[in-house]
Amino acid sequence: MPNRYKSDIYVAYIVVISNIIIPNGDTMREEDMINDIVKEGYNIFKKQYVAFIVGTVIALLGMIFIITIPPLIFGIYFMCIKSIKGEEIQISDVFKGFNYFITSWVLFIVGFIAIVVGLIFLVIPGLLLMVLFQYAIAVAILENRGAISSLKRSYEIGKKNFAFSLVLWILMAVIESVGGLTRIGVLITIPFTALCVSLATHKLTANTKAA
């Protein structure tokens, strides 16, 4: 089956999942927003999928060194945000994450400690922080913020849009799980989920005034 048709089937599967996990009624707005983000993310991804996939391969290979993990993850998000702005991405853009080396490490360490502490004590607080902190990387790049400021801003955005943020987080987790099961699928799911989260962050930051 041609790759293009496989991609069409894949995104259709994702949209179906989003329709299943989002209840009807009061959350219709969240459903519309999620579906719009998934579709928009897919349209952006398919236009530059080669750069996204190769960039992800390079990032994954580079992550054999622990010290490069946070900046390379930032690099994937940098590619996503650049594409959202309508710019053509380059494979080398994945290395732009090293421009955020200190920010990426501080963000990951502080966020990780906060989440682990929440999981150890009551579990639910840790899970909630995962939901609320999901925008932090994109915020750091979009708004040129430091690590702590990005975490606070992400928390603020997530809290004000909690229903949407929870559904988005669950959907992204499902997509990542599917990619993990197919192994090579992570080359699609990693950049695609980062793209969806970046799109959501871009939309929510525009609607949520910074503190």
Q: How confident is the model at residue 19, as a pLDDT?
A: 53
Asked if residues 145 and 139 have their Cβ atoms less than 8 Å apart, the reply is yes
Q: How confident is the model at residue 21, as a pLDDT?
A: 47
Q: How confident is the model at residue 182, as a pLDDT?
A: 80
Q: How confident is the model at residue 131, as a pLDDT?
A: 93
- Taking the C-alpha atoms of residue 197 and residue 41, their distance in angstroms, rounded to an integer, is 9
> CA separation (Å) from 130 to 33, 114, 117?
20, 9, 12
pLDDT in tens, 45-94: 999 999 999 999 999 999 999 999 999 999 999 999 999 999 999 999 99
Please choose, from the candidates 200, 170, 181, the residue with its C-alpha nearest in 3D space to the C-alpha of residue 77.
200
Model pTM score: 0.84
Residue whose entry in the numeric block shows the structure tokens 């910074």: 210
DSSP, residue by residue, 4-65: HHHHHHHHHHHHHHHHHHS-SSTTHHHHHHHHHHHHHHHHHHHHSHHHHHHHHHHHHHHTTS
C-alpha neighbours within 13 Å on the C-beta side of residue 183: 0
Average pLDDT, 10 consecutive residues per value, the chain (211 residues): 47 50 54 89 94 96 93 97 94 96 96 90 83 96 96 95 92 90 89 97 80 55
